[in-house]
């Protein structure tokens, strides 16, 4: 085992840490925490269409009490140790990270850690306007926003909330503050929003943002995921090429999750993230820290490794370094979506951290 960096048994060096700061979310997206009648009707219609039983209705997972959530100081400590072991990129996630009180304080702590090369956040954008300037001043350099539809009614159907105008406002605000790049993520689900692919690219062109299309993954609380609902990355690209002249972006790092293209004649870029049909596990360099202090070595891990308990029992930094190296070594070779033995993680994306 390599001792001075975080490496796994397959030779991957881990450079990217996703930090979930809360398991709470103010949206109820159909691909994560579906609770609305519209979401239920959508899933029911799709299950009926393929003659499957009604999807399992699992209650929304309760949020952890504050005492079980990592403090800013605990998060900072884990990040510092991770950086000492070669972590370079930090992304703050949730749940919805902007629900975490005084989140700009944590951003300031992490931005001051030497050797953090990239500090970003993924948000649904609903509350961004309240914290935008404070986050920028604290050292946040990049934002990614979720925007699954440009139709306000369809947006509500997909997210369970009336928040379309707030998200558009947030995207434009991040641009005006000089955050670069601003990325916009859309989870593409057959029967819901695949018809909006072209419109979302045109939105990216007009707003000067990078558009990312993501395949629908089995991480929803309703256990309603169906392979038939996945619009493959290949299909997305074929559709987009009928409307736009696309040029592959060269020089991408192997660990990047998105295959990227420039839209010729514009400054816009699109990316397609296809973990279901075109897995990129062989180059994955990520670890995830959940809000309640567990390390996950894969988005689809069935095992979590507790760091919070170690810290609160008095473990010193060297013990934590050793444990992080041990955990990294156990990183899975790949996920098993689509295979007979695949089991969906008990926790949803909102609890794991995207």
DSSP string, 138-163: HT--EEEEE---SSHHHHHHHHSSS-
- Residue 40 gets which letter from DSSP? H
pTM as predicted: 0.90
Query: CB–CB of 25/350 below 8 Å?
Result: yes
Total count of domains within the chain: 1
Structural domain range at position 217 = 16-352
Residue 261: strand, helix, or coil: strand
Note the pLDDT of residue 66: 87
Give the length of the chain: 354
Note the pLDDT of residue 9: 96
Burial of 313 (0-12, 13-18, 19+ CB in 10 A): exposed
Residue 137 falls inside a structural domain = yes
Closest CA to 224 of 41, 78, 62, 61: 41
Note the pLDDT of residue 1: 40
- CA gap 309, 233 in Å, rounded: 40
Burial of 178 (0-12, 13-18, 19+ CB in 10 A): exposed
Note the pLDDT of residue 63: 76
Residue 6 falls inside a structural domain = no
Residue 325: strand, helix, or coil: helix
Residue 192 falls inside a structural domain = yes
Residue 4 falls inside a structural domain = no
- Residue 123 gets which letter from DSSP? E
Note the pLDDT of residue 337: 74
CA 350 to each of CA 26, 64, 77, 108, 345: distance values in angstroms, whole numbers, following the listed order: 10, 12, 23, 24, 12
CA 185 to each of CA 6, 69, 117, 197, 291: distance values in angstroms, whole numbers, following the listed order: 29, 27, 22, 12, 22
For the domain that residue 182 is a member of, what is the CATH number? 3.20.20.70
Note the pLDDT of residue 76: 98
Residue 5 falls inside a structural domain = no
Residue 10 falls inside a structural domain = no
Residue 11 falls inside a structural domain = no
Residue 7 falls inside a structural domain = no
Sign of the dihedral defined by the CA atoms of residues 259, 260, 263, 269, in that order: positive
Instruction: Give me the tens of pLDDT residue by residue for the chain, a chain 354 residues long.
Output: 445 799 999 999 999 999 999 999 999 988 887 665 555 566 556 545 555 555 545 555 667 888 899 999 999 999 999 999 999 999 999 999 999 999 999 999 999 999 999 999 999 999 999 999 999 999 999 999 999 999 999 999 999 999 999 999 999 999 999 999 999 999 999 999 999 999 999 999 999 999 999 999 876 555 567 889 999 999 999 999 999 999 999 876 776 889 999 999 998 999 999 988 987 888 999 999 999 999 999 888 888 999 999 999 999 999 999 999 999 999 988 876 776 676 766 766 667 766
Q: Give backbone dihedrals phi and psi of 46, rounded to 5 degrees, phi first.
A: -70, -40
Note the pLDDT of residue 37: 58
CB atoms within 10 A of CB 86: 17
């Amino acid at each position: 085992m390599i001792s001075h960096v975080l490496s796994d048994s397959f030779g991957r060096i881990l450079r990217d840490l996703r930090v979930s700061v809360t398991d709470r979310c103010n949206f109820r997206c159909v691909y994560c925490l579906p609770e609305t009648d519209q979401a239920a009707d959508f899933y029911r219609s799709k299950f009926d269409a393929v003659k499957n039983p009604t999807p399992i209705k699992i209650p929304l997972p309760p949020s952890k009490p504050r005492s079980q959530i990592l403090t800013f100081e605990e998060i900072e400590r884990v990040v510092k140790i991770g950086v000492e072991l070669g972590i370079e990129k930090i992304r703050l996630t949730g749940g919805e990270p902007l629900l975490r009180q005084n989140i700009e304080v944590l951003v300031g702590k992490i931005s001051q850690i030497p050797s953090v090369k990239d500090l970003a956040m993924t948000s649904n954008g609903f509350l961004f306007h309240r914290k935008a300037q404070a986050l920028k001043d604290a050292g946040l350099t990049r934002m990614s926003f979720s925007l699954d539809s440009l139709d306000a009614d369809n947006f509500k159907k997909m997210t369970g909330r009336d928040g379309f105008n707030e998200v558009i406002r947030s995207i434009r605000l991040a641009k005006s503050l000089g955050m670069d790049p601003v990325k916009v993520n859309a989870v593409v689900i057959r029967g819901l929003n695949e018809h909006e692919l072209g419109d979302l690219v045109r939105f990216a062109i007009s707003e000067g943002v990078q558009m990312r299309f993501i395949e629908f993954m089995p991480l929803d609380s309703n256990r309603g995921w169906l392979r038939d609902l996945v619009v493959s990355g290949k299909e997305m690209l074929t559709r987009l090429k009928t409307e736009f002249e696309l040029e592959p972006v060269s020089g991408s790092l192997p660990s990047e999750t998105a295959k990227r293209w420039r839209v010729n004649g514009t400054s816009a870029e699109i990316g397609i993230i296809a973990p279901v049909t075109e897995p990129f596990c062989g180059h994955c360099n990520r670890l995830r820290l959940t809000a309640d202090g567990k390390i996950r070595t894969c988005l689809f891990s069935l095992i979590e490794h507790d760091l919070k308990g170690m810290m609160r029992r008095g473990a010193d930094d060297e013990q934590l370094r050793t444990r992080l190296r041990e955990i990294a070594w156990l990183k899975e070779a790949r996920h098993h979506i689509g295979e007979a033995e695949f089991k969906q993680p008990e926790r949803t994306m909102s609890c794991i951290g995207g």
